[in-house]
Amino acid sequence: MTTPATAAATGPSPTVKCLVWDLDDTLWQGTVLEGDVPRPDPGALATLRALDERGILHAVASRGDHALATAHLTALGLEDLFTVVEVGWGSKSRTVRRIAETLNIGIGTLAFIDNDAVERAEVASVHPAVRCYRAEQAAELPELPEFQPPSVTDESRVRRHLYRAELSRKKAQESFEGPAGDFLATLGLTLTVRPADLDDLRRAHELTIRTHQLNTTGRTYDMAELRALIGSPHHRILVAGLEDRYGSYGTIGLAVSELTPGTSTLGLLLLSCRVMSRGVGPALIGHLVREALAAGRRPVAEFVPTDLNRVMLVNLRFAGFEVISRSPGRILLGFDPSAGPRPAEGAVRIVVPPAPSPL
């Protein structure tokens, strides 16, 4: 069976993104299906809240009756803390796999806690990368390194709300009858683009190290570099947030541009993969083009091709960028100012908040 010790021995373990809980005799002592009305274990309850504050999600993989279990969670005021609840009679390993697929996160970023050694062994044998814990360890989990993210942002603290909203969108999309474009039009997508400030640094840093597919150059910036860029008159750092009728997606985009009197060179543009199908890439690039032209600068963009990011090159070309030069591992593209910016298209409304008034 995979244990925290053996998992660590095989190499560095990623921070846990989701802790999957058994309910009976783990989260609480007792069996709801047998008529018990148990209260949650105080140590387990403290762990639920501590990890939620750090942006670590919670899910349920438990045996029993789904309606009874969810009703008891609701009666305890705990249902909202769990992003996915799976209660039934199938194998726990299949349930854990479904949870990873539902959340669209790697199986190796899940952890599993259960009072039953056989259940832990079954999950560990099928998913060796899933770290498994005994129910008696519940109160200790927040002190373990795998449950301590490198940074905790304001967005981390509401991560479960972002995921729950995304699951609502997916459910609505699956039941929608009609073209995908028509569904997007029903969402009321609003993209807010604004200059980054010091409060955005941790999320901006997180985006640079975690986003690979929708990323033009793959550059990463540490906190000191981002702080210096925000304060530089020769750079413009923009962050983008997205929301729709189901709620917020959080901060999903970052653009880093170097400014000269005649050009605005996009050294990094990245978007969260969660918004790949929302038409946000063309909308944000179009906004950057219009902003640069309004300031009398030619929009230029660097692109470093990888095995994953070709879609970003397609977005740049579609927005009107043409190749200026190529060198090993790097493409420089420029926008023809005489062509003028392409009109805003699609279902995304762009909002630019007014600059704060000087004191």
DSSP state of 279: T
Residue type, 83: T
The answer to whether the pTM exceeds 0.85 is no
Encoded tokens for 262? 């005649």
Confidence of residue 141 (pLDDT cuts 50, 70, 90): very high
Confidence of residue 137 (pLDDT cuts 50, 70, 90): very high
Q: What is the pLDDT of residue 345?
A: 58
Strand 131-134 versus strand 110-114 pairing type: parallel
Percent of the chain residues past pLDDT 70, beyond the cut: 93
Confidence of residue 184 (pLDDT cuts 50, 70, 90): confident
Question: Rounded CA gap, 59 and 19, in Å?
Answer: 6
CA dihedral 116, 120, 121, 124 (to 10 degrees): 180
DSSP track, 22-36: -TBTTTBSS-GGGT-
What is the pLDDT of the chain when averaged over all its residues?
Answer: 89
319-359 residue pLDDT tens: 999 999 999 999 999 998 877 666 655 689 999 988 765 54
Rg for the chain (alpha carbons), in Å? 23
Question: For residue 237, what is the enclosing H or E element?
Answer: strand 235-244
Encoded tokens for 163? 């995921």
- According to DSSP, the residues that pair with 331 across neighbouring strands are 303, 326
CATH T-level assignment (fold) for domain 4-147: Rossmann fold (3.40.50)
Domain residue spans of the chain: 4-147, 178-351
65-95 residue pLDDT tens: 999 999 999 999 999 999 999 999 999 999 9
- Tell me the CA end-to-end span of the chain in Å, nearest whole number: 61
Strand 84-88 versus strand 57-63 pairing type: parallel
244-273 residue pLDDT tens: 999 999 899 999 999 999 999 999 999 988
- According to DSSP, the residues that pair with 236 across neighbouring strands are 257
Residue type, 213: Q
Q: What is the pLDDT of residue 150?
A: 80
Question: Rounded CA gap, 316 and 1, in Å?
Answer: 48
User: How many Cβ atoms from other residues are within 10 Å of residue 49's Cβ?
Assistant: 12
- Which among 90, 134, 132, 127 has a CA at the least distance from the CA of 105? 127
CATH T-level assignment (fold) for domain 178-351: Aminopeptidase (3.40.630)
Encoded tokens for 178? 């009609």
Confidence of residue 284 (pLDDT cuts 50, 70, 90): very high
Question: Rounded CA gap, 21 and 132, in Å?
Answer: 10
234 three-class SS: coil
Cα angle 226, 148, 211; round to 5: 45
Given a contact cutoff of 8 angstroms between Cβ atoms, the answer to whether 264 and 294 are in contact is: no
